[in-house]
Chain A
Amino acid sequence: MRTGTWIEACAADAIEAEDVIRFDFEDRTYAIYRTENGDYYATDGYCTHEKIHLSNGLVMGSVIECPKHNGRFDIPTGKAKRAPVCVDLKTYPVKVEAGKVYIQA
């Protein structure tokens, strides 16, 4: 896997405010978020509790709730906030340029 490379993930308007989408690249899956105030973030796509796609979860403010057991993470930092998640989520730098979202993976 390449490290530190900026990868074009999606169009900025492909994600609604307070929502998340799944982005697969090479052999990895990511979750890309847009919070209510229009900020973009990226984390690993799977929950750290079990292999469940966070993109099916619910974004509430700056928190993502996992769809399987309702574990929660702070989106900007990836911090585990509610059991059964105990391990933090890996986060990735994000930039938006010319209407496109890039993540540095």
Chain B
Amino acid sequence: MASTDRRKRDYSITGPENQRAQERGLAAAEWYTCPIPRQRMKELMKRKNGPAIRDTLIWFGSLLILGYLAYLSWGTWWAVPAFLAYGILYATPGDSRWHECGHGTAFKTPWMNEVVYQIASFMVLRSATPWRWSHARHHTDTIIVGRDPEIITERPPVWKILLMQIFHLYGGPIELKRFALHTFGKLEEQERDYIPASEHRKVFREARIYMLILLAVVAACIYAGSILPAMFVFFPSFYGGIVVITFGITQHLGLYEDVLDHRLNTRTVYMNPVLRFLYWNMNYHVEHHMFPMVPYHALPKLHEEMKADCPAARRGLFAALKEVITALRKQKHDPAYVVEKPLPATARPYVRGVPQQQDTSLRSEVL
């Protein structure tokens, strides 16, 4: 068994781990992919407008209805559940639509992806262009320390971040600070690492538009003499965050870092149709990472194609959360701890990284 006193690592992408990952051959490396015949892949990658138009109409229609009920309830105790429901329906699909439309796979028609991407980016307070680039890096170097800017928390975990994210109080203020920075034509140092110079002007323009919208919300609140306008736009990004973080922590936490096989660092979780609607099938997360070309509506079918080559999916959100929280608690004392699921007999072996440089300090538990 390996040592448990793994040195604390620097997770920033401007620190020494970035260089180390490159030296170890983990940056922009070749990743394992499950064998799927090209013909079948072509069917799975096929784009459609229908499912995303239907889901977008249902989403915005439901938001209007819940928003109206919340408006009627304002001033009574009913406002608490009404706004909570509105906020969850605002932020959760906001996050998943941001994600899918960012990949450009949700709709067949490019401008539809772009329109929903821009709206959803604002709803979840993510600068559209910087996050497009950050997410591209997340796909290139998934959970490679020093390379992936989207690792939710380091090992040992920082519980404060996870708890604050229930109301988006960790990421939200960081994003608002970035909006301000971008509005004045500046970028963070780490953003320079993954956003090419040709995109900088676009970043600044988008931030200025966001700022104008936020100022309009503030003006509406002052005019109305109430925070009610902000309860519909802006505040839901915070008070509606609970399901976003609940889903988000199931994606990679408690699993391996620094491997080149999504079956080891990403989790697929079975969810019911309501949760899958909110999450746009991102519970099929191994599938999404391995084949980002496959649109959300085809992920259940892709899962069927891949499952003989993958560890068993977690049976439900609660099972996944239990696994994550248990792993994080263990990592608090033993940062080297990771969960590893056995592969079925039909699967090809895991690819743990660049062979001669595997990190022997990892201690995994086969569940």
* A5-55 contacts to B (CB < 8 Å): 19, 49-51
Chain A binding surface, main DSSP class: loop
Q: Which residue in A50, A70, A82, A86 is a CB contact (below 8 Å) of B292?
A: A70
**Chain A binder among B102-110, B254-262, B320-328:** B102-110
B205 within 8 A of A: no
Return chain B residues, CB-CB under 8 Å to A57. 293
Residues on B close to A: CB < 8 A? 28, 41-42, 45, 47, 103-105, 110, 129, 132-133, 136, 139-140, 196, 198-199, 291-293
Alpha-carbon distance A3/B266, docked complex (angstroms) = 45
A70 touches B140 (CB 8 A): no
Q: Which residue in A51, A58, A70, A84 is a CB contact (below 8 Å) of B42?
A: A58
A-B pairs with the 8 shortest C-beta distances? A69-B136, A84-B136, A58-B45, A70-B104, A70-B103, A67-B293, A86-B198, A50-B28
B105 touches A70 (CB 8 A): yes
Alpha-carbon distance A84/B140, docked complex (angstroms) = 12
Q: Which residue in A67, A72, A86 is a CB contact (below 8 Å) of B291?
A: A67
A68 within 8 A of B: yes
A69 touches B47 (CB 8 A): no
A67 touches B140 (CB 8 A): no
| 26 contacting pairs across A/B (C-beta < 8 A) | A49-B136, A50-B140, A56-B41, A58-B42, A58-B47, A60-B47, A65-B104, A67-B292, A68-B139, A68-B140, A68-B292, A69-B103, A69-B136, A69-B140, A70-B104, A70-B105, A70-B293, A82-B104, A82-B110, A83-B132, A83-B133, A83-B136, A83-B199, A84-B133, A86-B196, A86-B199
Interface mask (A72-105 → B, CB under 8 Å = 1, otherwise 0) = 1000000000111010000000000000000000
Known: A51-B28, A57-B293. 4 other contacts (CB 8 A): A19-B42, A49-B136, A70-B105, A84-B133
Alpha-carbon distance A70/B361, docked complex (angstroms) = 35
Alpha-carbon distance A2/B38, docked complex (angstroms) = 31
**Chain B: CB-nearest residue to A65:** B293
Chain B binding surface, main DSSP class: helix
Return chain A residues, CB-CB under 8 Å to B42. 19, 58
Max chain B C-beta neighbours (<10 A), residue from A57, A72, A84: A84
Return chain B residues, CB-CB under 8 Å to A51. 28
Alpha-carbon distance A69/B139, docked complex (angstroms) = 7
Q: How many Å from the CB of A33 to the closest CB on chain B?
A: 14
Q: How many Å from the CB of B40 to the closest CB on chain A?
A: 13
Return chain A residues, CB-CB under 8 Å to B104. 65, 70, 72, 82
Q: How many Å from the CB of A46 to the closest CB on chain B?
A: 12
Alpha-carbon distance A57/B47, docked complex (angstroms) = 13
Q: How many Å from the CB of B22 to the closest CB on chain A?
A: 13
Q: How many Å from the CB of A50 to the closest CB on chain B?
A: 5
Q: How many Å from the CB of A26 to the closest CB on chain B?
A: 21
Q: How many Å from the CB of A54 to the closest CB on chain B?
A: 11
Q: How many Å from the CB of A32 to the closest CB on chain B?
A: 14
Alpha-carbon distance A86/B292, docked complex (angstroms) = 19
Return chain A residues, CB-CB under 8 Å to B28. 50-51
Alpha-carbon distance A96/B79, docked complex (angstroms) = 69
Alpha-carbon distance A67/B103, docked complex (angstroms) = 11
Alpha-carbon distance A60/B199, docked complex (angstroms) = 25
Q: How many Å from the CB of B143 to the closest CB on chain A?
A: 16
**Chain B: CB-nearest residue to A50:** B28
Alpha-carbon distance A50/B196, docked complex (angstroms) = 13
A58 touches B293 (CB 8 A): yes
Max chain A C-beta neighbours (<10 A), residue from B136, B139, B199: B136
Return chain B residues, CB-CB under 8 Å to A82. 104, 110
Alpha-carbon distance A68/B136, docked complex (angstroms) = 8
Alpha-carbon distance A58/B47, docked complex (angstroms) = 10
Return chain B residues, CB-CB under 8 Å to A84. 132-133, 136
Q: How many Å from the CB of A96 to the closest CB on chain B?
A: 22
Q: How many Å from the CB of A36 to the closest CB on chain B?
A: 13
Q: How many Å from the CB of A44 to the closest CB on chain B?
A: 17
